[in-house]
Amino acid sequence: MLLNIKYTLYQNRIVLRFLFLVFSSSFVFAQKPVVLERQVTLMGSVFNITLVDKDSVSANENIDLTIEEISRIENLISEWQPQTQISKVNQNAGIKPVKVNKEVFELTKRATDYSKMSNGAFDISTVSMDKIWRFDGSMSEMPSQESIKKSISNVDYRNIVLDSTNSTIFLKNKGMKIGFGSIGKGYAADKGRELMQKKGIKAGIVNASGDIATWGTQPNGKPWAIGIRNPFKRQKVARILKLKNAAVATSGSYEKYAEIDGVRYSHIINPKTGFPATGLTSVTIHGPSSEFCNALSTSIMVLGEKEGLKLVRQFPEYRYLLITDEGKIRK
């Protein structure tokens, strides 16, 4: 699940709800090379783009290029903008296949692959789900079984028909929708990093509201340090990750949940049952791709600790940190 992150500058740290980036003092005061950071709203969320570049003019130009790349992706996959290819797919659900470009087709194909690998715990068709759960503190009783069943009537990745020969996407049922709120920002972070590496930028961070892609090092040669918040001890960290060419994503329930009869229900919904995920408070995954980190973290939140660990251990390039609803840490 992609998360809306708030930033606070404190003692040379950028503090996030789930993660924070820790910079050494030499990072802040270094004159050469220049380190430039810019915060901007893209894809409906806060992005922080940090580049290590030869001078401020070049850094600003390259940040502009990164923003253009992320905006390009948004204009392809946003389900909120009616002119995008994904919106056209949704508008023609149950009617006809829609031709999309190779990039959109391949992203959708990977998303359905994530659904298969997680046995449906991950599903981009959840955007068609009826919103019967409220996570603003106002919910005091469970929805009816009937309303829960109805809420997922149009959710099933197996009804996303992909034709690789014609590069088309067809949603079998009217009322179906697909969306990339789960992996779209991670994909954008990966593509921003890829673009900057092709431009010869040796180091930086694209932080897409907690879906983070890093490369290179700080100017002092140290890796980027990313702290993972402990939701039960807000002033402490569960772990600090030191990354050079890696990505990280966190899915969690402790900022947005419903508590009913003493049980905490996550805002992350199980696509197969219509019930919120329980058992895990947060899941952090780090490895090569921000997109895949988020696919794994979302899947594990739904699968729970036992099945989630079985899944992530199939991918040795990816590491995990799970925090259970009881505050236990698995890593």
User: What CATH number has the domain spanning 85-133+142-171?
Assistant: 1.10.3980.10
Q: How confident is the model at residue 12 (pLDDT cuts 50, 70, 90)?
A: very low
Other CB atoms within 10 Å distance of the CB of residue 74: 19
**Burial of residue 174 (number of CB atoms within 10 Å: 0-12, 13-18, 19+):** exposed
On the question of pLDDT at 21 being above 70, the answer is: no
What mean pLDDT is reported for the chain?
A: 90
CA 3/CA 21 separation, integer angstroms: 16
Report how far apart, in Å, the C-alpha atoms of 60 and of each of 36, 116, 188, 197, 206 are.
8, 41, 19, 15, 14
Question: Residues spanned by CATH 1.10.3980.10 within the chain?
Answer: 85-133+142-171
Per residue in 39-49, pLDDT (tens digit) is 999 999 999 99
Predicted local distance difference test score (pLDDT) of residue 55: 95
Q: Is the pLDDT of residue 29 over 70?
A: no
Residue 51 to residue 131: CA distance in whole angstroms: 39
Q: pLDDT (tens digit, 9 = 90+) per residue, 204-253?
A: 999 999 999 999 999 999 999 999 988 888 778 889 999 999 999 999 98
* Predicted local distance difference test score (pLDDT) of residue 22: 56
273 residue type, one letter: T
pTM: 0.88
One-character DSSP codes across 246-263: -EEEEEESSSSEEEETTE
Q: Is the pLDDT of residue 10 over 60?
A: no
Is it the case that residue 60 has pLDDT exceeding 80? yes
Tell me the average pLDDT across 158-174: 98
Please provide the DSSP assignment of 71-140 as one string.
Answer: HHHHHHH-SSSTTSHHHHHHHTTTT--EE--HHHHHHHHHHHHHHHHTTTSS-GGGGGS------SS---
> Which part of the chain is CATH 3.10.520.10?
8-76+183-330
- Amino acid sitting at position 64: D
In the CATH scheme, what is the code of domain 8-76+183-330?
3.10.520.10
The region of weakest confidence among 124-133, 191-200, 209-218, 289-298 is 124-133
